[in-house]
Amino acid sequence: MKASIFVFLLSMIFSTRGKAVEKIMESIPREISGWQADAADEVYDRETLYEYIDGGAELYLTYAFQNVFARRFVKQDAPEIVLEIYDMNSSQDAYGIFSSERQDEEVGIGQDSEYGGGLLRFWKDKYFVSVLAIGDEQTAKPVVFELGMKVAEAIPAVGERPDLLKYLPQENLLKNRIRFFHTHTILNRQYYLAGENILNLDRQTYCVFAPYQIDKNKSFLLIIHYENRSQAETSYLSFLANYLPEALGTGFAQLENGKWAMIKTSGKFLFIVFEAPSKEWASGLLSKVMRGMELE
């Protein structure tokens, strides 16, 4: 009996944590500046997302994606506008999917946003939102923004960014290029490391990948938070064995391209610097991170 009450209370907590995406869609007008919603909203979940996104569903499935509501707005002789609201189950993953291909300037909608080429992307609470105009971008742009702002207003709560972001040293950091993700396939999209999963990443690992601009070159910091210390240590050894055998005992090595790589582990965390201009730079960066996390 106690167990069933506990399960009930737990389900209540989770069901009220974020406003249901269908409620948000209901509060968005079906007519906006002459554009009319075309037919019923479409809904896709983890099983059916492939039917909706040709080739891109895998990205969402590496996060805790739950479902997406899509509504098409049409107007004669004007571009079609597609609104999509993705329930990512947590604010961290909403941020993660937003970060996965961020490249344009912030436009001030939701918690982080960008606009370019007719596409408005932003995240708020546990939701990732996309508003895409297909066709004449300039005609549709004011409506795309209006729609985006209405959705942002309809999401009352704000969410927490991933904790790992707090520990990134800010100097020379390319903030619009930070990525948050879980699996090695997404790491390889940012920085091809290996065909196989040599860092043992999965949906339970939390990863942040951050580029730093040093003169004309870029260096990269990868921080991984594993479920436990043992996984971090195993992955540390796997990385050394498969990628950086020269670094056994020191943690750093100069690679064939003249750049330096460095790895450290502490507790549940693994820290790797790629493409560093020198071992001193790599070491300095990792020291800043670990001091920030009070790990040294």
Partner 1 sequence: MKEKITRRDFMKGTAAAAMGMAIGLSPEEIQKTRVILIRHQDALDENSKHNADIIQQMLDEAVMKLLDQKDAVAAWKLLIKPEDIVGIKTNVWRYLPTPAELEGAIKKRLLDVGVKEENIGLNDRGVRNDPLFQKATALINTRPLRTHYWSGIGGCIKNLITFGERWPDYHPDSCADLGLLLKLPQVQGKIRLNILSVLNPQFHGRGAHHFDPRYVWNYKGLIVSTDTVAVDAVGLKIIQAKRLEHFGEEVELETTPKHVKVAGDRHKVGVSDWNRIELVKLGWQDGILI
- By CB under 8 A, name the binding residues for partner 1: 50, 53-56, 58-60, 84, 86, 101, 103, 116-119, 121, 130, 132, 134, 137, 185, 188-196, 198, 242-243, 255-257
Q: How far is the CB of 228 from partner 1 (least distance, A)?
A: 24
Nearer to partner 1, 247 or 293 (CB): 247
**3-state SS record for 67-136:** EEEEEEEECCCCCEEEEEEEECCCHHHHHHHHHCCCCCCCCCCCCEEEEECCEEEEEECCEEEEEEEECC
Nearer to partner 1, 196 or 294 (CB): 196
- Residue pair 253/247 in contact by the 8 Å Cβ criterion: yes
Nearer to partner 1, 117 or 249 (CB): 117
From 82, 91, 69, select the one nearest 35 (Cα to Cα): 82
Q: How far is the CB of 276 from partner 1 (least distance, A)?
A: 15
Q: How far is the CB of 84 from partner 1 (least distance, A)?
A: 6
Tokens of residue 285, six digits:
């960066």
Nearer to partner 1, 5 or 192 (CB): 192
Q: How far is the CB of 9 from partner 1 (least distance, A)?
A: 35
- Residue pair 6/133 in contact by the 8 Å Cβ criterion: no
- Residue pair 200/235 in contact by the 8 Å Cβ criterion: yes
Q: How far is the CB of 174 from partner 1 (least distance, A)?
A: 13
In sign, the C-alpha dihedral spanning 235, 238, 242, 246 is positive
**The pairing of beta strand 67-74 with beta strand 42-45:** antiparallel
Residue owning tokens 């003169």: 215
Nearer to partner 1, 188 or 283 (CB): 188
Q: How far is the CB of 107 from partner 1 (least distance, A)?
A: 15
Nearer to partner 1, 24 or 167 (CB): 24
